[in-house]
Every structure is written in structure tokens, then in C-alpha cells.
Amino acid sequence: MPRPFDFFLSKGRETAEAGLAGTEDARVDGKHQPPSTLAALRAENIWKSYEDGSIQVLNGVDFEARPGQTVALCGPSGCGKSTLLHLLGGLDEPDRGRILLGSAEIAKLSRTQFLRHKVGFVFQLHNLIPDLTLEENCLIPTVAAGTPRREALARLHDLAGRTGLTHRLTQRIQKLSGGERQRTALCRALMNRPGILLADEPTGSLDERTSRQIFDLLLDLARTDGITLVMATHDRGLAAQCDRLVEMRDGKICE
């Protein structure tokens, strides 16, 4: 499980918080149309194992998300959803296969080039810093990205308004409810205007009603801003609202 400060420490986490700009919205009349343009995100024949190969997790995954598409990644616990999301976001490296952001292969990018491809992450447990305020937590990725403070605050106020958090900005995370914490995590992931958002069971630790509210918000934010969203979830009801549902089983996609 990632720790709150990890995103400062690794290429991947920093990028994860930094948020792919300039992706093209491929939806027409609210429905996804298969476009002829490049995929926003693409995995080609991905293999991944742990413990020196004794735990084989991904067995030749091929996956792609079109620009602006919302994709639900479903499958039983342990089938490799989180592992795939981590690889898609550059948080870990595959044993074999390629991950591409647009036309750029992650493994061949320098740190600086990689950071230009903005990818946001939302985790099941929000991974916020409990002693800091909502505002402070959300400003961290903008400091890492070198965004001027005034610009960052304007972005935060916009996101806080859209997520109903304006009145909670100066509150410490530990004083917030589960739903408010996850809304804060959404804001933080969106601070640097990502083109791709990867969400790993973002509603998995919430009650049903809050879970639905957070999911609706997530989908609305992604669609309004034309963000490509890939979300792992157990909840088929929520998954059905995405443009596409991708089924994973035993480390493979069986769409």
C-alpha cells in the first residue's frame, strides 16, 4: 500500500500526483465513439510477477483506453487490477511488454519527459496526510510541479466548489468524514490537470450511499474535463455507468 509521501520519492508517484494534458475528447453526444486517434493509454502484452517470479500476476495483458473514455476494470480480488493500474501509471515496471502514454513508451522517457505526461491517481484509502489541512494536502502536488501558489489556490477553489468542499478547506484531514476525505483525494489528484486519471477502488472503503456520490462526482469531473479514466472496481452497478467495462481474470483481460 503506497504511503502518503511516496509520490515525492519515485518518478511514478510524482507523476501520478502531477496529473496527460491535451488529450482529445472522443465522446460524441455523451457516448464514446471508437475514434481513429491514438489511444491515451495503452498496454501491450504485459507480464508481471513478484517474488523473483514465484508469484505470476499478469499474463500478457493487452489494454487500451481512448482519449476521454471512462473504463471500469472489474474482476475478482487478486486478479491483478491494482498491479495493472500501477504499471499503467508508471508506479512500477512490467517484466515484459510496453506501456504507452499517447505515442510515448514510459520505459524510454526521462523523468522530465515523463512528468509532462500527467497522470493522476486516486486510491481506495485516500492516502492524505492526516495532520495537514485539506488545502495543504491538495497544494502538495502543485509544489512538486512548480505551479505558482496563486494559480494553485485558484485551481483548488474551483475543485473544492465542484466537490462541495469549500467550507472544509482549512480543516485537518483527521476531522473530515470518509466521503469528504475521498472527495479531497479527488481534488488532489486533479490539481495538476491530469489527462489521465487512474482510480483503484476509489469507493471501496465507503458506505453504499457515499460510494455512489463519490463515483458520480468522479465520473462527472472526468467527463466535464475530458479526462481518460480507468477505474478498478468491484461494483458492477457503478462500472455499468462507464463508457466501457473491461473484465480481468487470472492476470488477463477477457473483455
By the rule CB under 5 A, 133 interacts with Mg ion: no
Q: Which of 23, 69, 70, 82 binds Mg ion (CB under 5 A)?
A: 82
Per-residue contact string for residues 59-98; x = within reach of ligand ADP by CB under 6 A: ----------------x-xxxxxxx---------------
Compute the distance between CA of residue 48 and CA of residue 99 in angstroms, rounded to an integer: 12
CB of 40 to ligand ADP, least distance (A): 22
CB of 99 to ligand ADP, least distance (A): 15
DSSP code string of 2-40: --TTHHHHSHHHHHHHH--TTPPP-EETTEE---SSPPS
Q: Is 249 in the site for ligand ADP (CB under 6 A)?
A: no
Minimum CB separation of residue 240 from Mg ion in Å reads 20
Whether 164 and 191 have beta carbons less than 8 Å apart is answered as no
3 near ligand ADP (CB under 6 A):
no
Output 57 or 230, the one with its CB closest to ligand ADP: 57
Between CA 139 and CA 141 the distance in angstroms is 6
Ramachandran class of 149: left when φ > 0, alpha when ψ lies in -120 to 50, beta otherwise: alpha
Q: Could you say which of ligand ADP, Mg ion, none residue 161 binds, taking C-beta under 5 to 8 angstroms by partner kind? A: none
Among 29, 53, 55, 111, binds ligand ADP (CB under 6 A): 55
CA 64/CA 20 separation, integer angstroms: 15
Q: Are 40 and 195 in contact (CB under 8 A)?
A: yes
> Interface residues with Mg ion (CB under 5 A)?
81-82
> Interface residues with ligand ADP (CB under 6 A)?
50-51, 55, 57, 75, 77-83
